A and B are shown apart, each in its own frame.
Chain A
Amino acid sequence: MSLRLEDVWARILQGVSLEVDGGVVAILGPNGSGKTTLLRVIAGLLKPERGRVEAPSRVGASWQNPYFSFHKQSVTEELEEMVGSRERALDVLKSYGLGELAGRSPFTLSMGQARLLSILLAALWGPELVVVDEPTSGLGPRERGMVSRLISSLTSTILIATHDLDFALEVSDRVIVLDKGRIVLDNPSPEVFYRDDLYKLGFPRPLAVEIGRAAGRVVRSVSC
């Protein structure tokens, strides 16, 4: 899988150049910085006004409103469409701890459950790249942990747009920071979280980093 963007201009994006070869890449930035626009360009839903995009033909996506990804009557039927059989769909649900949702309508799921199902649907049809927009917004700590485990278990290349630094530190291999449509920082994770460049841009320091600094070692997540 290879993703390459060269001098891409689209809506708020101003000359974004980027190359991704694999792993989990977190795109950080404040509201309106162009994270979602960048993902839409990569997913092929938005044509750039200028620049070149070389993206895989199969890009899975889970957007901010997960309910727009559903169109079947039950959670099992949604997954059945992806994996081919009811038995495999039930196995997938059980393996992610969602077995009790099997018969429910996807539209009645809580935000956390819907988010998990939406990410599963985006990842299970065999895309080379999966983009996930704000996977933790509106989630409680339990659902957040489940989303984190799900993303870590996926084998495809994943791009996550978020402003949740704790989450990005937990799951990402690389961090790209967008501000006003431009890339202002592009570094491997978790080193970037232990340097000051990120916090000079106004981001709050994650709790794991504070603890890691005090302990003198790299800490990626804190669980209670």
Chain B
Amino acid sequence: MYPARARLHPYTGILLAAWGTASTYTGCLVPSLLVGLGLLYHAGVLRRLLPLYAWVVVPVTLAVGLGGGPGEGLRAGAGLLALVSILSASMLLLDPLEAAYSLARLGLPLMAGLVLALVLRSSEYMGYAVYEARAGLYGRGLRGIRLLLSLPGPLVVHAFNLSSMLGEALYFKYPGRGRSWYHRPRPGMLDYLVALLAAISSIACYMGHFSIL
């Protein structure tokens, strides 16, 4: 999905999500914002995700700001941005096959790992299919809510057609053979760096720095 240098060990991803959530919840937003956005920038996906974040963060900031004042709105917006950036980084920087292996090692059912691996592996293609379906419907004059309501039709049909074609292709590519669907992960420099940053910023937060509450 992304270059190997941008990948996180699955356990680092899980711990990063937990740390980022706890850090945001306790009001220590700056480190989780920096780590989350930094990792997404490192993976080269930040520019693509920012418009999506704007859709999530701006309405919340405005709604809370209108009710409780601008300061409250900004705090809520920053907290949400920190949370979504950390959670996106911890999900998007996983290798699906390594995640499947690690989840199985943690004792989760094999199917859970397989489903996660499938979702992560196909997320980029799903994005492409949504874009193409949107372009197709836009080209025939559908706009706004009518376009959104019409999107599931071509997407569902496409998903069925694609799964049927993939099934046939895999059968003829690997007749009578199973496929391995996990890889054993190895921690890398990025994992150590994230752990170090999280530890330093947690200590700093504990000592009263970074908090905006």
Contact = CB atoms under 8 A, between A and B. Distances in A.
* A and B form one complex: yes
A63 B133 CA distance: 10
A107 B132 contact: no
A176 interface: no
Interface of A: 40, 43-45, 58-63, 65-72, 82, 107, 118, 121-122, 125-127, 131
Most chain B beta-carbon neighbours within 10 Å: one of A60, A61, A125: A61
26 contacts: A40-B135, A43-B135, A60-B139, A61-B136, A61-B140, A63-B136, A66-B136, A67-B158, A67-B161, A68-B132, A68-B133, A68-B137, A68-B158, A69-B139, A69-B140, A69-B154, A70-B136, A70-B153, A70-B154, A70-B157, A71-B137, A71-B154, A82-B140, A122-B140, A126-B141, A131-B139
Contacts of B153: 70-72
Interface of B: 132-141, 150-151, 153-154, 157-158, 161
Contacts of B141: 58, 60, 82, 125-127
A107 B162 CA distance: 13
Contact of B140 (A45, A67, A107, A125): A125
A interface: dominant SS:
mixed
B139 A43 contact: yes
B138 A61 contact: yes
A121 B140 contact: yes
B130 to A, nearest CB: 10
Nearest to A107: B157
Contacts of B137: 68-69, 71
A60 B135 CA distance: 10
A67 B137 CA distance: 10
B139 A63 contact: yes
Contact of B157 (A59, A67, A125): A67
A61 B139 contact: yes
Nearest to A45: B135
A156 B132 CA distance: 24
A121 B135 CA distance: 13
Contacts of B139: 43, 59-63, 69, 121-122, 131
Contacts of A68: 132-133, 135-137, 154, 158
Q: A107, A122, A125, A126 — which one has the most chain B CB atoms within 10 A of its CB?
A: A107
A65 B140 contact: no
A183 B132 CA distance: 25
Nearest to B140: A121
A72 B153 CA distance: 8
A66 to B, nearest CB: 8
Contacts of B138: 43-45, 61
A181 to B, nearest CB: 20
A68 B131 CA distance: 10
B136 A65 contact: yes
B147 to A, nearest CB: 10
A63 B132 contact: yes
B108 to A, nearest CB: 36
A37 to B, nearest CB: 12
Contacts of B134: 45
A67 B139 CA distance: 12
List of 10 A-B pairs having minimum Cβ-Cβ separation, nearest first: A61-B139, A68-B136, A125-B141, A71-B153, A69-B136, A71-B150, A121-B140, A68-B133, A107-B157, A68-B132
